[in-house]
Amino acid sequence: MPSASLVCEGFAGQAATTSVGLGMPNLPLSVVTGHVDGQTTEELRQNVLERTLDQVVENLTEQPPAAVPVNEPSPQDVVFEGSFDEVNRLFYENGWSDGLPLVPPTKEKVEEFLGWTDRDPDEELGILLPDNRRATPWNVAVNGVMAGCRPQYMPILIALAEAMADPEYGVEHSGNTPGAETLIFLNGPVIGELGFNFEQGALRDGFHANTTIGRFWRLYLRNVAGFLLHQNDKGTYGNTWRVVLAENEPALSRIGWEPLSVDFGFEPGENVVTIARYTGSDVLASAFGSRAEDVLPYLADGVAKQNGWQLCFTLGLARGTLRPLLVLSPVLAATIARSGFSKRDVKQYLYDHARVTAEKFEKYIGEFTHLVPGRRSLVDMVNLGRAPAAFAESEEPERLVPIVADPEDFMIAVTGDPLRTNAMTFAHNGMLGYPVVRRIVLPGRWAAG
């Protein structure tokens, strides 16, 4: 069928590579010059009439060139034999590398990884967009080797691949322009068994398990899902991969709080990975006070400040998909718990106090940005049934409104230096990286080691 797909100039390369994954490698494109939001109506009209229109007519009236088939090697083919440096050069030249030295994925190393799962090497774990490739234990192992993981990490890597393929997460948005990056959370006994860091220096590289599994995530996005810079990955600035956040479960147990995984329906003591994509973060340093009532106002203020345009995921582009994250050091969590606050109480406090004015909320989603067409007020959105009643308790522009739709939308994790009163808050990427959770299934040989 004749077609003409309209695409802004900045996304022409992404459209061309995405069309290959969709099975239409010769999809005709008609380019709109520049960025539509940076042009006046007249400039946009002139560009469309003088440039885009001719391409549309051509695409609808001429036969597109024949598609050139892409012949990829089979999963178990040996593609090259050579030295460490030669292998790394080949991988870099083919776009299979993140730019750092890789461990060459020999068959022997891959098979060693496969020995730590009971899954068939060719079992389909899911389909990953935009390249529409199958996630399998085999290609999980290949990228795990390349990232420098230990074979024993394989059950975690498989759970991550399954989570990546979950439609709720939306892996196809991994290359969106704000450059959001995924954070991997870990709960369960594997934290101690595999030597994850959950104390001082959490979220910094340096511990093998945290670091290499974080690197695996980015390599798997690149090599299986198909996100490469200047192609499907359109992050304007981008973030690099993040190391794994392992919760401090002994500290949680001492203060009577449950792990993050329990918030998502799992039992305490289960091995679980959680993924969510965040656009940015900030440290809330030196929270002062010996009671929850002393430290929570500062934390709520920091959480509210970290979220701006992301509010469109509360109301606008989506409703109720914003999941801001607050990471507490163990001493801060203990201070709050000692005052009688449960995690649910903290979420309610954040809902009640991490607020912005209605006027600012409306500017973030409809004036500073163009993320709610029509620039409707919050009162209008409530009256139309597109927002909870809490957003229209009055029509006063200076009234304070929540930044999420429900208290349970806040995520809280505990990790980091046990004796520092610091916290960290992350702005979430809404339905473009919604939290997804998977149980880690250990192989039968696990107990034997």
Higher pLDDT, 54 or 215: 215
d(CA 449, CA 430): 39
Phi, psi of 73 (to 5 degrees): -65, 155
pLDDT of residue 373: 67
E-strand stretches of 251-377: 272-284, 325-328, 355-357
The two beta strands, 181-187 and 245-246, are parallel
pLDDT on residue 448: 67
Q: pLDDT class for 409, splitting at 50, 70, 90?
A: very high
90-118 residue pLDDT tens: 999 999 999 999 999 999 999 999 999 99
**Beta-bridge partner residues of 278:** 181, 428
- Residue 34's region, left for phi above 0, alpha for psi from -120 to 50, else beta, is left
The answer to whether residue 415 scores a pLDDT higher than 80 is yes
pLDDT digits (tens, 9 = 90+) for 343-369: 999 999 999 999 999 999 999 999 998
Where residue 405 falls among pLDDT bands split at 50, 70, 90? very high
- For the segment 191-208, the average pLDDT, to the nearest whole number, is 97
Mapped onto helix, strand or coil, the DSSP state of residue 173 is: helix
71 class by beta-carbon count within 10 Å (0-12 exposed, 13-18 middle, 19+ buried) = exposed
pLDDT at 33 > cutoff 90? no
Q: Is the pLDDT of residue 76 over 80?
A: yes
Q: What is this structure's pTM?
A: 0.94
Cα 14 from Cα 87, distance rounded (Å) = 28
Band of residue 252 on the pLDDT scale cut at 50, 70, 90: very high
- pLDDT, tens digit, for every residue of 110-153? 999 999 999 999 999 999 999 999 999 999 999 999 999 999 99
Alpha carbon distance 298, 307 (integer Å): 15
Compute the distance between CA of residue 91 and CA of residue 106 in angstroms, rounded to an integer: 13
Listed in sequence order, the residues at least 6 apart from 148 whose beta carbon sits closer than 8 Å to its beta carbon are: 102, 103, 208, 212, 215
- Amino acid symbol at 446: W
pLDDT surpassing 70 at residue 79: yes
Reported as a pLDDT band with limits 50, 70 and 90, residue 22 is: confident
Mean confidence (pLDDT) of the chain: 93
**Which residue, 280, 174, 275, is CA-closest to 233?**
174
Query: Over the stretch 267-318, which tens digit does the pLDDT of each residue have?
Result: 999 999 999 999 999 999 999 999 999 999 999 999 999 999 999 999 989 9
Mean pLDDT to the nearest integer, 194-220: 97
Whether omega before 130 lies within 30 degrees of 0, making that bond cis, reads: yes
pLDDT on residue 122 = 97
Distances (CA, A) of 433 to 264, 274, 439: 16, 11, 19
Give the tokens for residue 207: 């511990």
pLDDT score recorded for residue 408: 98
- Give the percent of the chain with pLDDT over 70: 99
Out of 48-52, 64-68, 70-74, 379-383, the most confident range is: 379-383
Residue 63 pLDDT exceeds 90: no
